[in-house]
Structure 1
Amino acid sequence: MWLTNPPPDYNVIEIPNGDKAYIHKNTNVGNLTIGRFSYIHNHVVMTGHFPIRMGAFCSVAANVYCLTYESHQIKYVTTSPLQRILGVETNYPECVEKPEGVTIGNDVYLGDGARIMPGVTIGNGCVVGTRAVVTKDCEPYGVYVGVPAKLKKFRFSPNIIAQLQALEWWNWPVEKIRRNAAFFNLDLQQFEGNLSVHIVD
Structure 2
Amino acid sequence: MREWLRSAIYKGRIMPTENEAEQQRADNRKRCAELGGRIAPTAQVSSAVSFDDPIDIGDGAVVYAPAFIGGFTYVNVGAVVFPHVRIGKFCSIGRNVQIGAARHPVEFLSSHPFQFSPALFNRVQGYPALQTEKWRFHEPTTVGNDVWLGTNCVIVAGVKIGDGAVVGAGAVVTKDVAPYEIVGGVPARRIRLRFDEDKVSRLLKTRWWDLPLDSLKNIPFGNIDQAITSIEAIRSSKENA
TM-score bracket relative to the smaller structure:
0.7 to 0.9
Corresponding pairs, count: 188
TM-superposition CA deviations, 1:90-141 (whole Å, max 9, x none): 3732x62366211000000000000000100000000000000000000000
* Residue type of the alignment partner of 1:23: I
Instruction: Name which structure has the greater RCO, CA cutoff 8 Å, separation 6+.
Output: 1
User: Which structure's residues are more often strand, by fraction?
Assistant: 1
Write the distance in 2 (CA, Å) between the matches of 1:129 and 1:41.
15
Corresponding residue for residue 43 of structure 1: 78
Write the distance in 1 (CA, Å) between the matches of 2:155 and 2:96.
12
**Is the contact made by 1:68 and 1:100 (CA closer than 8 Å) also made in structure 2?**
no
* Residue type of the alignment partner of 1:46: V
User: Which structure's residues are more often helix, by fraction?
Assistant: 2
TM-superposition CA deviations, 1:145-169 (whole Å, max 9, x none): 0000011100000000000000000
Pick aligned residue for 1:75 from 96, 108, 124: 108
Instruction: Give, in angstroms, the shift of residue 6 of structure 1.
Output: 6.0
| CA root-mean-square deviation | 3.2
Write the distance in 2 (CA, Å) between the matches of 1:6 and 1:41.
13
CA gap of 1:80–1:194, structure 2 versus 1, over 3 A, is closer
Structure 2, unaligned runs of 5 or more? 1-32, 44-48, 235-241
* Residue type of the alignment partner of 2:218: N
CA gap of 1:73–1:200, structure 2 versus 1, over 3 A, is closer
Corresponding residue for residue 64 of structure 1: 97
1:92 aligns with 2:113: no
CA gap of 1:181–1:72, structure 2 versus 1, over 3 A, is same
TM-score relative to the length of structure 2: 0.67
* Residue type of the alignment partner of 1:104: V
TM-superposition CA deviations, 1:169-199 (whole Å, max 9, x none): 000101111x2331x121x3xx4x8932566
TM-superposition CA deviations, 1:24-71 (whole Å, max 9, x none): 1321111220001010100101123xx100000000010101245452
**Is the contact made by 1:135 and 1:148 (CA closer than 8 Å) also made in structure 2?**
yes
**Is the contact made by 1:100 and 1:118 (CA closer than 8 Å) also made in structure 2?**
yes
Identity of aligned residues (%): 28
